[in-house]
């Protein structure tokens, strides 16, 4: 089972060309783009997309889950507040994913019920309205056709989410999908309030994404941490290259953490297996990111061989 977190990093862009970029005031006056990267619970990136910073994150959440080319079987997905809308909740359910966003200001997020607030006295302060179940039923065939088209790749999820967000409020399909999303969001919030394990799992998953984001920022130091490529294609290559380097760091650390644990056991030291799951392969203090890069053939390590571990320090 893959429980992917989500890593998003804002990158400054400098160029002289005709490309227009939207950006938010929170990013400053310089134009920028977002490297929107999905990562698994094993820290491996499995999808990457370059997007404008002015677009809500939720627009691209499903693209990574549906159109990645890895062999991961994704079951549950975590995002922060910017990664969810009611439309996303609905499509996640229809496409077979468990959606678990960490919603900011949860106390201000309203629940929706099929019978109105009078039937749920204990939840009355939290109820925001009554669900229009009849409207969902009336447009059910359209909803299924939309989900099938997205699943088969006839249309991308991000394109449809942009269209749904721009439709007038009275559009039948958009309203029906919103109502379905409200059902899913209400069920999720009730589960979130009752399950400590769910909250712990989501926090841990998002922390992995933030830690990987820090590693990506450390790796991305060339050209003062700015992308100066004028074309979108070249920017996409930069994003893929950053993914490759961070994945290489994760792989290196994973291999040597395993060898270090084995060396401790071989020397008679007790290794608590329950603690190994909390080790992270995202550290880079031991990696020389800005020094000389040596490519001499004599410095290469043969296939199947490893660098020696540091000697154990006596207590």
For the segment 259-310, what is each residue's pLDDT rounded down to a tens digit? Answer: 999 988 888 888 888 888 889 999 998 888 876 777 777 767 777 788 888 8
In contact, 147 and 91? CB cutoff 8 Å? yes
Does residue 13 lie within any of the structural domains? yes
Rounded to the nearest 5 percent, the helix, strand and coil shares of the chain are 50, 15, 35
Same domain, 131 and 13: yes
What does the pLDDT average to over 120-132? 84
> For residue 107, which of 133, 125, 89 has the smallest C-alpha distance?
125
Are residues 173 and 245 part of one domain? no
Q: Is residue 225 part of a domain?
A: no
Residue 32 in domain: yes
Mark whether 199 and 240 lie in a shared domain. no
Is the pLDDT assigned to residue 142 strictly greater than 60? yes
CB 21 within 8 A of CB 50: no
- Domains of the chain: total: 2
267 and 181, same structural domain?
A: no
Q: Which two tokens stand for residue 237?
A: 């290559």
User: String of b and e for 48-86 (b: at least 16 CB within 10 Å)?
Assistant: bbbbebebbbbbbbbbbbbebeeebebebbbbbeebbbb
Domain that holds residue 83: 5-218
Within a domain: 308: no
Instruction: Out of 218, 251, 282, pick the residue that ends a domain.
Output: 218
Both 109 and 198 in one domain: the answer is: yes
Flag whether 310 is in a domain: no
Q: 27-80: per-residue pLDDT in tens?
A: 555 666 778 889 888 888 888 888 877 778 889 999 999 999 888 889 999 999
Position 10 pLDDT exceeds 60: no
Give Dmax over CA atoms of the chain in angstroms. Answer: 78
């Amino acid at each position: 089972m893959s429980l992917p977190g989500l890593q998003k990093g804002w990158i400054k862009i400098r160029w002289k060309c005709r490309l227009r970029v939207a950006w938010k005031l929170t990013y400053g006056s310089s134009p920028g783009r977002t490297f929107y990267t999905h990562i698994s619970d094993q820290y491996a990136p499995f999808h990457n997309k370059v997007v404008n910073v002015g677009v809500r994150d939720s627009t691209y959440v499903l693209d990574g889950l549906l159109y990645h080319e890895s062999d991961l079987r994704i079951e549950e997905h975590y995002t922060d507040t910017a990664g969810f809308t009611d439309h996303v909740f609905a499509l996640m359910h229809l496409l077979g994913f468990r959606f678990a966003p960490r919603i900011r200001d949860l106390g201000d997020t309203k629940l929706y019920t099929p019978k109105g607030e009078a039937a749920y006295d204990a939840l009355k302060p939290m109820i925001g309205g009554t669900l229009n179940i009849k409207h969902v039923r009336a447009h059910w065939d359209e909803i299924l056709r939309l989900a099938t088209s997205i699943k088969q790749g006839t249309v991308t999820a991000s394109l449809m989410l942009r269209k749904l967000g721009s439709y007038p409020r009275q559009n039948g399909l958009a309203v029906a999908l919103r109502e379905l999303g409200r059902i899913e969001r209400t069920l999720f919030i009730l589960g979130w309030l009752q399950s400590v394990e769910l909250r712990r799992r989501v926090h841990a998953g998002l922390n992995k994404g933030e830690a990987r984001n820090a590693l990506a920022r450390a790796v991305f130091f060339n050209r003062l941490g700015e992308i100066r490529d004028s074309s979108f294609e070249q920017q996409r290559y930069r994003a893929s290259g950053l993914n490759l380097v961070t994945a290489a760091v994760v792989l290196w650390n994973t291999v040597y953490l395993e060898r270090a644990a084995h060396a401790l056991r071989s020397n008679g030291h007790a290794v608590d297996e329950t603690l190994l799951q909390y080790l992270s392969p995202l550290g880079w203090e031991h990696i020389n990111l800005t020094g000389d890069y040596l490519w001499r053939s004599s410095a290469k390590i043969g296939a199947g061989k490893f660098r020696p571990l540091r000697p154990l320090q006596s207590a």
